[in-house]
Amino acid sequence: MEKYVINGGNKLYGGVKIQSAKNSVLPILAAAVLTDGTITILDVPQITDVSNMVKILTRLGCKAVFSGDNLIIDSSSANCFEIPSGLAHELRSSVFLLGSLVSRFKMAKIAFPGGCDIGLRPVDLHLTGLKRLGVEITEESGYILCKCEKLMGNEIMLDCPSVGATENIMLAAVKAEGTTVIKNAAREPEIEDLQKFLNMIGAKVRGAGSGTVVIEGVRSLGGATFKPIHDRIEAGTFLVATAMCGGEVELECSCAENLSSLLHKLRENGCIIRIKNDKISLESSRRLTSVKTIETQPYPGFPTDLQAQITALCCICRGQSIITENLFETRFKYVPELRKMGADITVINRSAFVRGVDKFKGATVVAHDLRGGAALVLASLAAEGVSEVLDISHIDRGYGRFEQKLGSLGGDIKRVAV
C-alpha cells in the first residue's frame, strides 16, 4: 500500500508531455489477439490497467515484451480463450477481449469484469451486439460464456452510444463474414484511433467518430507499428491542476480539438488558454469565477472522466456551480473527501451543488476511484497545509508517473509506503 503526501500551495510552472490515451491503448491491446502478426505499440503509458491487460494477454499465450515505453506483441502462439477471473475483476477493459477471442477461437470465457466502483456499467450492450453477430451467450456462476460456429455481419442498433460496446462489436466484426453496421455508435476519438489501428493491420472499417460505423469482414490481419493518440483526460487533469494552483503550464499533446468542451469551461472560469500546433498552454493568475452549470454527456459533450476534477476546481472558485453527472450514478463518491478539506458541496440525486470557498485545507482523504482520486490530488496541491491521499492504487490505473510529472512543475508531492 502507498499514499501521496502533498504539501499544498505551490504554483505550477513548466511543461509536461502527455501520455498515450489509456482508453485507446486498452482496446488496441485487445485487438492484438486478432492477428498472427507482430504489433508494436509506441509510447505505452506505465499504468496498472495496461500492466493487467498485458498479464491477460500473456496468460492467453501471447508474447508481450516492453522495449522502453514501446510494447511488442506476438499473438501467433495464443492458445487460450479464458480470461483469468482475478485479472478480469481488476480490469474493466478485459471485457474488450470477448469480441477478439470469439473472433479468433469461436469461444470465450470471462468473469464479469471489475474496475472502478462508479456505478452500474452493465455489459448487456456488448452481449446483445455479439448475439447479433451469431454468438451464443450463457451466464453462470459469475462467468460469461460465448461460442459460435462462425461470425456473420449484421446491423446492430445500440440503445445508447456505449464506448465499450461500440469497440467490442468492432473487434468481433472485423473478421466476420459480410458487413456489420453499428448504429448509434459512440463517437469518442479513441474509437477513431481503434479504427486507424485496425485498418493499419488490414481491416476495413469506416465511419468511426460518427454515429454509424461500418465494418467489412476480412479473412486475415497482419502486423503494424502504431502510435496511439494522446490522453485527453490526462491533459485535462493537468489543465485543471494549473487552473486550481495558479501558474502557467504547457502541455505537449495533440488533443486540443478533443478537449473543446473542457477548454470552453476553463475560459469561462477566467483562464488564459493558448493553442499552437501540438501545444496547449494555460495561465491562471488569480482566483477564478465559477462556471454556472456543467453536465457530463457522451462525446463531444463534457467528459464524465473530467467531472471530478472540474468539480474540485469549482469548489475554490468565486460563486456557485451545479455539476450534473448523466452517465454514472455513483460518481460523486469523492465529495465527502473534498468536504474534509473544507469544500461546500451538496449532492442531490445526480447533481452536485457547489458554493465556492476561499481555499482548501490540508486533510487525510481516501481515493475511491481513478478520477475521483485524481481530483483529491489536485485539491491537495491547491490546499493550505499538508494532505495525505490514501489508496492511490486507483490513481495508478490511469496516470503514469503522476507524482514525477506534478513534481517537475513545482508540486510538492511524494509517494510514501504505508
> In the Cβ-directed half-sphere of 205, how many Cα atoms lie within 13 Å?
29
The single-letter code of the amino acid at 50 is: V
Residue 174: strand, helix, or coil: coil
List the catalytic residue out of 62, 80, 116, 148: 116
Which grid coordinates are listed for 243? 487552473
Separation CA 86–CA 396 (nearest Å): 18
The single-letter code of the amino acid at 256 is: A
**H/E element holding 140?**
strand 136-140
Which grid coordinates are listed for 317? 472558485
Is 116 considered catalytic here?
yes
Closest CA to 119 of 396, 407, 378, 371: 371
Contact 403, 7 (CB under 8 A): no
Which grid coordinates are listed for 382? 491547491
Separation CA 182–CA 170 (nearest Å): 8
Separation CA 271–CA 172 (nearest Å): 44
- What residues act catalytically? 116
